[in-house]
Structure 1
Amino acid sequence: MTAAARLAALDNMPARELCQLAESALAALVNVMNQETTLLRAGHLRDASKLTPEKARMAQDYVSFARSVQRQTARLQQEAPDSVDRLRHGHEALATQMAENLRVLATARNVTEDILTDVAKVVGQQNKAKAYGRAGTITADPASSARGIAVNRAL
């Protein structure tokens, strides 16, 4: 089935059925984002990262339904106004969950980066020579710090 045929099939779907599919996709997306947020808060980054493919698939499904709903808003409002209202409230819940998820992701990234930076500094301090300079103080050699340690900012 071509993309145009899939879009046409969605757009011609009965109003309540289209809204129900969009609601189900939305609920699944909110659920997986909630799971991810919970895992991140608990410090289980690897477990949380395993949810990424599922979250991406669910987001793609929801976006497909949401775009169809947007294209068919006038018809859906006439045929199933209560379903459209439920969907609108669900979308607001998604926005709240997404904001929380992004906040926790940013916190996890910052914590990870801080830990790696601290480790790099400690490793660098262990490698530097302990010698006194002309002023009678221990000199720091910036070239000897943190060899072999990198901070991955892709989290």
Structure 2
Amino acid sequence: MSAADRLAALDELPATELCARAETALDALVTIMNEETTLLRAGSFRQAGGLTPEKTRLAQDYVTHARSVQRQITRLREEAPAELERLHGGHERLATQMAENLKVIASARNLTDSLLTETAAMVASRERTKTYDETGIIPPSSKVTAGIAVRKSL
């Protein structure tokens, strides 16, 4: 079955079923984002990073359903107004969770950058000459600072 066929089949679902599927996808996405946020707050960056593939899949699933809801909005307003309203409330929960998630990710990134900057400065200061030469000045360092390397994958 092609992607176009899957989208067409989704668009042809009964209104209540389409809303229910979209809501299920939305709830799963909110749940995994909440789990990621909790892990990041606890400093469990590796565990949080392990959620990325599943979070990506759930986000794609939700977007597919949300676009179908958008395409079918007129029909859904007529056939399933209560389900559509509930879905709208769920979307607001997702927006709130995303904002919180992004705030925690930004905080973690800032903390990491600060730690790396301080570590690099400390490494560089330890390798700097701290004594004066016979002319009374501190000579430039003759050693090449090794520095540090960082792989950013969060």
TM-score calculated relative to the size of structure 1: 0.91
Cα 1:16–1:139, aligned 2, differ >3 Å: closer, same or farther?
farther
Residue-pair matches, total = 154
Task: Write the distance in 2 (CA, Å) between the matches of 1:139 and 1:19.
Answer: 72
Letter in 2 for 1:92: E
**Match of 1:149?**
148
| Structure 2: gaps of 5 or more residues | none
CA shift, 1:148, in A, is 3.5
**Match of 2:29?**
29
| Structure 1: gaps of 5 or more residues | none
Cα 1:134–1:59, aligned 2, differ >3 Å: closer, same or farther?
farther
Q: Is the 2:123–2:147 contact (alpha carbons within 8 Å) kept by the matching residues of 1? A: no
Cα 1:85–1:139, aligned 2, differ >3 Å: closer, same or farther?
farther
Cα 1:5–1:148, aligned 2, differ >3 Å: closer, same or farther?
same
Cα 1:123–1:14, aligned 2, differ >3 Å: closer, same or farther?
same
User: Does 1:130 find its partner at 2:130?
Assistant: yes
User: Does 1:67 find its partner at 2:67?
Assistant: yes
CA shift, 1:139, in A, is 5.5
Q: Is the 1:26–1:94 contact (alpha carbons within 8 Å) kept by the matching residues of 2? A: yes
Identity between Structure 1 and Structure 2 (%): 58
**Match of 1:92?**
92
Letter in 2 for 1:43: G
Cα 1:127–1:89, aligned 2, differ >3 Å: closer, same or farther?
same
TM-score calculated relative to the size of structure 2: 0.91
Task: Write the distance in 2 (CA, Å) between the matches of 1:135 and 1:35.
Answer: 62
